[in-house]
Amino acid sequence: GAVVSQHPSRVICKSGTSVKIECRSLDFQATTMFWYRQFPKQSLMLMATSNEGSKATYEQGVEKDKFLINHASLTLSTLTVTSAHPEDSSFYICSARLSGYEQYFGPGTRLTVT
C-alpha cells in the first residue's frame, strides 16, 4: 500500500526555538496533505489542510503564524512550529490523500518542548 513517512519521529527542543517536521508520500503524489495534533488519550485534531502550491487552510483556533505549513511539492509538506513552548508538546501526525477518498497516515512525530 501507499506509504507516508515523517521525520523526525521524535524531537526534543528548548522553549523559544523552532522545529520543522517533514511529511513525505514515498510512492505516490499527494495533492492534499493534512496535519493533525493529538494529545494523550484524545482523538486527532485537524490543524490544517495543505494543498500543493497554495497556502494552507487552517482550522479555527490554530495560529497560522505559529504553525507554518509549506507544501512545496506533490510529495512533501512541512510543518514548522515556531517559537515553541511547552504547551506545544504533542504528537503531530500527517496524512496524504492518494485519490478519491483514500488517505494514508504518517507514523507521527512526538515533540517535547523543555
Site residues, another protein (CB under 8 A): 34, 38, 42-44, 46, 49, 91, 93, 95, 100-108, 110
Nearer residue to another protein within complex by CB, 7 or 82: 7
DSSP conformational letter for 87: G
All three cell numbers of 110: 512526538
| Least Cβ distance, residue 102 to another protein (angstroms) | 6
CB 75 within 8 A of CB 24: yes
Nearer residue to another protein within complex by CB, 75 or 95: 95
| CB atoms closer than 10 angstroms to residue 55 | 12
Nearer residue to another protein within complex by CB, 78 or 95: 95
| Least Cβ distance, residue 72 to another protein (angstroms) | 22
Nearer residue to another protein within complex by CB, 49 or 80: 49
| Least Cβ distance, residue 53 to another protein (angstroms) | 18
Contacts of 87 (CB under 8 A, 6+ apart): 113
Could you give the CA distance from residue 24 to residue 64 in angstroms, rounded to a whole number?
Answer: 21
